[in-house]
Amino acid sequence: MKYCVGIDLGSTTTKAVILGESGEILGRGITNSRSNYKVACDVALGEALINARFALAEIGLEQAGVAGEIGRRMLAALERGFREQQYLAQLRALESTIGSFLDPESAGALAMSNGGSKKLASAAEGILQQMVAETPALYAEGASRKSDFFRDLAGSRYLKLAEHAARELHVSFDRLAGLFDKAILEVENLSFGEENFAVHANAALAAMDDKDPTFGRIVEEVAGIQLDRARGVGTGYGRRTLPFPKEQIRSEILCHGLGAHAMFPATRTVLDIGGQDTKAIQVDDAGIVTSFQMNDRCAAGCGRYLGYIADEMNVGVHELGPIACQSTRPVRINSTCTVFAGAELRERLSLGEKREDILAGLHRAIILRAMSLLARSGGVADQFTFTGGVAKNDAAVGALRGLVNENYGDVQMNISPDSIYTGALGAALFARREWREDGNPAEQAAATGEQA
């Protein structure tokens, strides 16, 4: 089976979208962006291919007549089991890497006395064993996870257990934390993706209690499907360092415009607030960009700024929106300069301002910057589409909706649950367009009514 892929290498996350031979979205994948951009692209693509195989399994179930609630339940159980197996494989790699740092005979071993090494190794081993034991509960039905990225999931739990080990076993917390920080850089650059689909899927299948006999056959068939890339296009903030030939790289402005149009065909204005930049884009009825404005010189007004604020408040970025939504009297923020973000935040808190009111004011200030870009690009036309990671922040969405209505009237605002993939989708559409121009066998067959 042939596919086209678009990869959006952003400053914080790398996204991939796979289109099937008929142009349908088969899979989406996302991972943390790394210093090694090729690895980030490979991991995102691998996750998209895994997602595509689950989509193909769903199609297979429908064709076999195992659909509805039963099919959805089995697929959900299979995916939870698959992710559990994937997480366990990553934990084993983390344990092996940490062990190599503590092995006195290893070239990369940390310098310390043999006694200190053994004590630290014992503490680290105990932490990782407990993390392995907790894994089934982490992926149990109904379990809530704050992130699906291994670094975030494992890092959060490892550091909490390291704090306990430091108190109980009288070992250095800093050394334990340092082990993780050093090891995760290596583990993140290993592949645990699509090439292991059959292994992880079979293990997950074996652990399932309630499954239709047809289900195993379909999973086996899906695992054996050969997925071949027909064409790929890359875009994003890091596009100049993408491991793609120059002719296969497209402007993120063009990709976001086309991707937003594909999601919402009536879109005329697009606002993308990503990790490192903000883009205000105007498109025509074909998704072609007619004008744009972009802020990529300053981190204020984008996701990176929210990351700085979250660090200052010692909360996760995902917690900022819910906290800000509790505000009853937003604070007026005069400056959103990232350099002075910490100082301004501390000053506001020292004056007795509530953190939810401060955060509400900060979200409004960020959106005011975006409104300025929108005005310079040509304003807001109906329909208006909001994309990027910040589109998942309810406080930012609320502030944007209010300001758009205040300045441009009752404009329909579109936000897709998959808005973070907009740029990758646009890149995939460009890839498919090129493939069609070169002669897509599936489309040629559709045109003549023959088998591709």
Q: Are residues 57 and 85 in the same domain?
A: no
Q: Are residues 334 and 244 in the same domain?
A: no
- The residue segments making up the domain with residue 29 are 1-64+212-264+423-452
Q: Are residues 87 and 219 in the same domain?
A: no
Sheet holding 289-295, edge to edge: 289-295, 278-283, 269-273, 384-387, 413-414
Tell me the C-alpha distance between 236 and 233, whole Å.
11
CB 126 within 8 A of CB 158: no
pLDDT of residue 254: 95
Sequence-distant (6+) residues with CB within 8 A of 29 are: 15, 16, 18, 43, 44, 45, 46, 47, 48, 49, 50, 51
> Looking at the domain assignment, is residue 192 inside a domain?
no
Closest by CA to 171, choosing from 238, 115, 227, is: 115
Q: Are residues 5 and 85 in the same domain?
A: no
* Counted domains in the chain: 3
The model carries a pTM of: 0.85
pLDDT of residue 451: 38
CB 94 within 8 A of CB 154: yes
> Looking at the domain assignment, is residue 197 inside a domain?
no
CB 213 within 8 A of CB 65: no
> Looking at the domain assignment, is residue 201 inside a domain?
no
CB 430 within 8 A of CB 255: yes
> Looking at the domain assignment, is residue 246 inside a domain?
yes
- Provide the angle, in degrees to the nearest 10, between the axes of the packed helices 422-438 and 252-263: 90
pLDDT of residue 448: 42
Q: What is the DSSP letter of 313?
A: H
pLDDT of residue 33: 84
Q: Write the CA distances from 67 to 62, 71, 197, 322, 408, integer angstroms.
A: 5, 5, 22, 36, 45
pLDDT of residue 7: 95
Q: Are residues 252 and 283 in the same domain?
A: no
Mark the ranges of the chain whose per-residue pLDDT is less than 70.
67, 104-116, 193, 243, 296-303, 334-342, 439-452
